[in-house]
Amino acid sequence: MSGAAVATVVVCLVAGLAGAAQAAVMGRFGERIGVIEAVAFASCITTLVAVGTVLVARQSLSGLAEGARSPAWMWTAGIMSAVIVFAVALGPPRVGTTTTIALIIAGNLVASATIDRFGWFGLEQIGLTPVRMVGIALLAVGAALTLIRP
* Average pLDDT of the residues of the chain: 93
CA nearest to 46, candidates 77, 12, 7, 10: 77
In a domain, 85, yes or no: yes
In a domain, 77, yes or no: yes
Range of the domain at 138: 3-145
| Residue 49 or 144, more confident | 49
Single-letter amino acid, residue 24: A
CA nearest to 20, candidates 103, 109, 104, 97: 97
Tell me the pLDDT tens digit for each residue of 4-14: 889 998 998 89
Q: For the residues 49-61, what does the mean pLDDT come to?
A: 95
- Tell me the CA distances in angstroms from 87 to 23, 93, 134, one per residue in order: 8, 11, 26
Q: For the residues 53-70, what does the mean pLDDT come to?
A: 93
Domain count, the chain: 1
Q: What is the spatial distance between Cα 131 and Cα 114, in angstroms, rounded to a whole number?
A: 15
In a domain, 150, yes or no: no
In a domain, 139, yes or no: yes
